[in-house]
Copies of this chain bind each other. A is one copy, B any other.
Amino acid sequence: MILSSAYYREGQYLFGRIEERIKEAERRLSRKVIRLSLGDVTCPVAPCVAYAMEVASREMVRGETFRGYPPSTGFPFVKEAIAKTYRGLVNPDEIFVSDGAKSDLAGWAYLFDKSLPALIPDPSYPVYRDSSRLVGREIVALPCTQDNDFVPTIPSFEGRSLIYLCSPANPTARTMTMKELQEWVDYAIKTNSIILFDAAYQAFALEGPRSIYEIEGAKECAIEIGSLSKSASFGGLRFGWSIVPAQLQVDGIKLANVWRRRQSTLFNGVSYVTQRGAEAALSKEGLQYSAQCVEKYRQNTHYMASQLALYTSVQYGDAPYVWVKVSTNGVDVFERLLEMGVSVTPGEGFGKEGYQYIRLSGFAKREDIEHSLTILSTLTQNL
């Protein structure tokens, strides 16, 4: 076979598939479908971000301020801005800038040998599973259900592995506590494993840790992946980072050196204009703006959860999603709601344990959420 994975023959990426179904439905229904299915934000970008990007764009026109290839791991000014939000937990040299968490998750998936099995929460962001399957890595599912309060249980498996954790989690919204995360760090150290900690929703955490580096020992075993997509509305601007602690070693070499080699060889850095935008998003003004957006999404989410809790079992927490249990299966509910003009995400897309669930997104606009709840309530008895 000429392709590196048979998985390429299998269908399409979850959210691409849903988007196609929505467009079909819109043509059929001759009206717009309300999207509660995407993790795409609705708060626009902060004015200070746009201003910084305008200034940077103009700099590119003048010979004295023009910039060519950026450093492949990011400009010092933006690494310092990121480091500041970690309040001393990480230093700028441990930060490697990228065009987003998805690209970094892909890079890490291919960096580690495929003989290393992946422990992946079920349900979780489909990219963990999809990229593992593309690499040809064995997947050990970590069920997150009502039984374990949606937190992955430490497995009996004692081998070395690549452990995916996300907190606050997508789609269950659950934030792991210090104690829960400490158990995973201890497990990783004991088994000589690597944790890939997805911190895309860190700005949403209320009480639990916002970074895995708040946990003792995490710098010996964990890589953290951050993003501005959710908090600072950078989905359309593309900016993220990986943190690789200075002391983290694999096979006797520093992982930071390996990642630097990887990034400089296979990636050419992030747009200077975007990096100036990111710096502004991480300024005091930018962070205040983000906090307001996060609060708005939280209110949306809690409103949806409280309304739906009248009819069915709902799981929600810090991340702006409601994980709703349905009586039949999530795909059926997805189909029925789509016919009624509302798109949700079938839980199955996040893993087998999502079979009887749908995910609703609190990133949507308030009026859309209110309108959808009316439609959802007509389905009440059968939800």
Contacts and interface: CB of A to CB of B under 8 A. Distances in A.
Interface of A: 1-4, 8-9, 11-13, 15-16, 38, 40-42, 44-47, 49-51, 53-54, 57-58, 60-63, 66-70, 72, 99-100, 102-103, 105-106, 110-114, 116, 127, 130-131, 134, 160, 194, 229, 233, 235-238, 250-251, 253, 258, 260-262, 264-274, 277
A72 B16 contact: yes
Given A4-B114, A68-B235, 15 more contacts: A1-B251, A2-B112, A4-B111, A4-B112, A12-B260, A40-B69, A42-B63, A42-B68, A50-B61, A54-B58, A57-B57, A66-B236, A130-B265, A236-B272, A237-B271
6 contacts: A2-B160, A3-B251, A3-B258, A12-B261, A68-B233, A103-B103
Nearest to A193: B2
B44 A267 contact: no
A316 B272 CA distance: 32
A99 B99 contact: yes
Contacts of A9: 251, 253
Contacts of A194: 2
Contacts of A68: 38, 40-42, 233, 235-236
B44 A271 contact: no
Most chain B CB within 10 A, of A99, A250, A267, is at A99
Contacts of A160: 2
A57 B54 contact: yes
Given A9-B253, A63-B44, A267 B103 contact: yes
Nearest to A126: B265
A61 B44 contact: yes
A114 B9 CA distance: 18
Contacts of A134: 262, 265-266
Contacts of A266: 102-103, 105-106, 127, 131, 134
